[in-house]
Amino acid sequence: MLAGNGIEVRVDLPSEREIAFVCRLPRSSQLLFDAWTKPEHLRQWWGCEGSCITQCAIDLRIGGSWSLVMQMKDGSNHPFHGTYREIVRPRRLVYTECYDMPQFGRPEWLTTVTFEEDAGATLVTHVIEHKSRSARDGHLQAGMQSGMIQALTRLYEHTAAMEQQP
C-alpha cells in the first residue's frame, strides 16, 4: 500500500500488460462517478501535483469522446483523449485513453474503472491495460504510478468538498 494524503492506494500488476490502482474512499459510488465524468469536477482532481486541467470536454455516452489538456508548472501542455466503450452508472466505466504526444508515439491504452460500494465507502479499482508489456513498463518508468496516486488523493479531497456543497 502506498499512502497519499488521507488514503491508501494498492498498486498491482495483475497481468503482463496491466497496472491496477485500488483504493477505498469514504464516498458514495454516485459521487465518485460524477467526479470522474463531469468536466467541472474532473478539472479539479485529474493529474499529478502541480498540474492543472486547462481544457476538458466529455461526451458521456458509448462511442462518445473525452479530451483534456493537462498543463504542468513549467507551462508544458499534455493532451489526452479517448472514447467511451462501456458506461454503467454509477458502477463502471471503460474507455480508451491516448497520451497525444507525437514525440512519445501517442501511446494508447484501455482504462476500466469500477466503483463498488461497501459499508458506507466505495472501493475504486482503476485498471490500465496496455497493448504490450514493454508499453506498460514504459508507462510505469515514466512516473505515472506516483502521478496516479496524487490524482486519487486529489479525487479524495475534491469529493470531500463536493459532499459539502448543497
* Each residue's pLDDT tens digit, 132-164: 999 999 999 988 999 999 999 999 999 999 988
Share of the chain above pLDDT 70, in %: 96
Q: With 90 as the cut, is the pLDDT of residue 10 above it?
A: yes
Instruction: Identify the pLDDT of residue 7.
Output: 86
> Whose CA is closest to 148, among 6, 54, 11, 17?
11
Provide the pLDDT confidence category of residue 103 given band limits of 50, 70 and 90.
Answer: confident
Instruction: Identify the pLDDT of residue 21.
Output: 96
Residue 56 is classified by DSSP as E
Enter the C-alpha cell of residue 73.
508548472
Instruction: Identify the pLDDT of residue 1.
Output: 47
> What does the alpha-carbon distance between residue 47 and residue 53 come to, in Å, rounded to a whole number?
8
Determine contact, residues 53/70, Cβ cutoff 8 Å: yes
Enter the C-alpha cell of residue 117.
460500494
Tell me which amino acid residue 95 is.
Answer: Y
The pLDDT tens digits of the residues spanning 118-136 come to 998 999 999 999 999 999 9
> What does the alpha-carbon distance between residue 131 and residue 107 come to, in Å, rounded to a whole number?
9
Instruction: Identify the pLDDT of residue 4.
Output: 54
Instruction: Identify the pLDDT of residue 3.
Output: 55
> What does the alpha-carbon distance between residue 96 and residue 112 come to, in Å, rounded to a whole number?
9
Residue 102 is classified by DSSP as G
Instruction: Identify the pLDDT of residue 104.
Output: 85
